[in-house]
Amino acid sequence: MGQNACRCANQAACSGSIRLEGKEIVGLDDRALCSLRGAQVSMVFQEPMTALNPVKTIGNQVMEALLEHGMARKGDAYHKAAQVLERVGLPPSKVPLNSYPHQLSGGQRQRVVIAMAIALRPKLLIADEPTTALDVTTQAKILELLKRLVKEDQIGMILITHDLAVVADMADDIAVMQSGRVVEQARPEILFRAMQHPYTKALFAASGHQVSLPDLPPDPQPLLEVKQVTRSYRLARRSFWEKPKEKVAVRGVSFVLRQGERLGLVGESGCGKSTLTRA
């Protein structure tokens, strides 16, 4: 959210349609949503130190994700956790499972967060500014890791970022957001050849990167369908007599994410990218 007042919201309202493999998500109760989180939809946050529990070892945190969703028994949870951590470049020989988050580098902590997100082999991975807290070299390594894992497991991924050039090599489709709306959407090879919206052009100019244009991939089956999604928050009242006010954070957003495809949501801070993923 862009304004601090929006964080004091009492209630969030969402309209429109969000379908995961044809199943409507909008309107599901908390229990049904909890069954989706982690198992079918996982998230990688931008700051790993706040995403990880500082008083638990990295091995225990990955094991908890596996045990919570019945993906491992107590007897083999340790072995499976070691396998998952090795997949993200943290073999036990170099980074023991009894390590604590504060003992790792920023890039290693983000790899642990990614390991927890992919441990259950979800169908959809949402990466919310996953490299913001990292140096440039580590950013490139983390992005390459995400790209490889998504391809290997055929996971659909939504990559949220403010840097248009970052998604050029990562995304199969790019949606540019401004003030809660998608102002331009196209595949990279189309978008970068003929940017239409002034905001898109400004974002790209600010990135200062050169972009190589990929070939157009074939269209697989839809995994996630988002249609005319609008999300608003009720703002906290300053006094008892003041009429309740609402802040519209996302307005009429639509897109389709196909099986194994990577979608980049691009826009400056506060434009509604992260809010959309919580719809």
Query: Can you give the residue ranges of every domain in the chain?
Result: 47-121
Write down the pLDDT at residue 11: 41
Write down the pLDDT at residue 189: 86
In whole angstroms, give the CA distance from residue 15 to residue 27.
Answer: 9
- With a pLDDT cut of 90, the percent of the chain lying above it is 34
Which two structure tokens, joined as six digits, stand for 71?
A: 């993906």
Question: Are 247 and 3 contacting, i.e. CB atoms less than 8 angstroms apart?
Answer: yes
Comparison of pLDDT for 125 and 136, the residue scoring more:
125
Comparison of pLDDT for 13 and 66, the residue scoring more:
66
5 — pLDDT class (breaks 50, 70, 90): very low
Mean pLDDT calculated for residue range 70-90: 91
Q: Does the pLDDT of residue 190 top 60, yes or no?
A: yes
E strand intervals along the chain:
12-20, 23-24, 41-44, 124-128, 156-161, 173-178, 181-186, 222-234, 246-258, 262-266
Write down the pLDDT at residue 238: 65
In whole angstroms, give the CA distance from residue 270 to residue 219.
Answer: 31
Q: Does the pLDDT of residue 227 top 60, yes or no?
A: yes
Q: Is 43 exposed, middle or buried (0-12, 13-18, 19+ CB in 10 A)?
A: buried
Q: What share of the chain is helix, strand, coil (3-state, %, to 5)?
A: 35, 25, 40
In whole angstroms, give the CA distance from residue 277 to residue 5.
Answer: 20
pLDDT-wise least confident of 20-29, 96-105, 265-274: 265-274
Phi, psi of 82 (to 5 degrees): -65, -40
Residue 119 to residues 77, 94, 170, 223, 237, Cα–Cα distance (Å): 11, 20, 21, 20, 42
81 — pLDDT class (breaks 50, 70, 90): very high
Mean pLDDT calculated for residue range 225-243: 75
152 — pLDDT class (breaks 50, 70, 90): very high
pLDDT-wise least confident of 33-37, 78-82, 123-127: 33-37
In whole angstroms, give the CA distance from residue 91 to residue 83.
Answer: 8
Question: Are 160 and 274 contacting, i.e. CB atoms less than 8 angstroms apart?
Answer: yes
Mean pLDDT calculated for residue range 242-266: 80
In whole angstroms, give the CA distance from residue 225 to residue 21.
Answer: 8
